[in-house]
Amino acid sequence: MDRFKKAGEKEITRAISTSFRDTFEEYIESDVIIVGGGPSGLVAGRELAKEDVKVLLLEANNYLGGGFWLGGYLMNKVTFRDPSQKYLDEIGVPYEEKEDGVYVSDGPHACSQLIASACDAGLQVFNMTKFQDVVLREDNRVGGVVINWTPVDSLPKEVACVDPIGIESKLVIDATGHDAEVVSKLEERGFLETSGQGGMWIEESEDQIIEKTGVLHPGLLITGMAVSETYGVPRMGPTFGSMILSGKRVAEVAINELE
């Protein structure tokens, strides 16, 4: 068996540090920043990266995927109503039709394949990175985000008072799901008012999510469950078609806005 190449601690640390520094520096300024790496954020990121948009996705957790690993009630099967299963064909995820127009796929397979296809398309990800606040410009236009490391963000102030940093973009997409964290920052300042998610009603919910996906405030777009939280659209429970198609829609709107 061949021996490993001779390289030790300093070479390994230098490789990590220089590569991270170069990537970080490049993404201090992006066309689009997506906050949240669940299904809607990942699809948005994939679609934007495919069109050569410079796009950065921020995720508070170490892992990507949000709620897409599981269907509901800890059952790891995810569902899609026609026509959203077509996106699974695009990213190469197998599924079966269970009821008329209702498709089921394996959560871990669908989720990991979506993550991989977004990264393959050129999406850049900063994980363990928590969105804290918005950067605001003239007329309260959103011009970027304020971030910190997730573990730093959760330390009590007596332990570490570490200021966050700001990074800039032409557009920000709130894909933080039920938390609607970016939208909340604008609401706290009185720029808009949200309704909170509606009760569960699958048949009504999903078309409304797509209709209301898009620009919410200058510089800010919303996708996924953040749309339900913002406009009071009924929730859809454990089915993911509208998360996928909302991610696709928000990417189209973002590309229009950038032009």
Binding site for ligand 48H (CB under 6 A): 35-41, 58-61, 66-68, 130-131, 175-179, 181, 200, 224-225, 235-237, 240, 243
| Residues 236, 237, 241, 246, CA torsion sign | positive
The β-bridge partners of 97 are: 103
Of the pair 53, 245, the CB lying nearest ligand 48H is at: 245
Minimum CB separation from ligand 48H for residue 68, in Å?
6
Q: Is 243 annotated as ligand-binding? A: no
Residue type for position 176: T
Question: Counting every residue, how long is the chain?
Answer: 259
Q: Is 21 annotated as ligand-binding? A: no
Of the pair 110, 175, the CB lying nearest ligand 48H is at: 175
Q: Is 225 annotated as ligand-binding? A: yes
Q: Which two tokens stand for residue 166?
A: 């700001």
The β-bridge partners of 217 are: 220
Backbone angles phi, psi at 99, to 5 degrees: -125, 175
Minimum CB separation from ligand 48H for residue 248, in Å?
12
Residue 137 CA, distance from chain mean position: 23
Of the pair 53, 115, the CB lying nearest ligand 48H is at: 115
Q: Is 249 annotated as ligand-binding? A: no
Of the pair 9, 164, the CB lying nearest ligand 48H is at: 164
Minimum CB separation from ligand 48H for residue 234, in Å?
8
Q: Give the span between the Cα atoms of 230 and 216, in whole angstroms.
A: 9
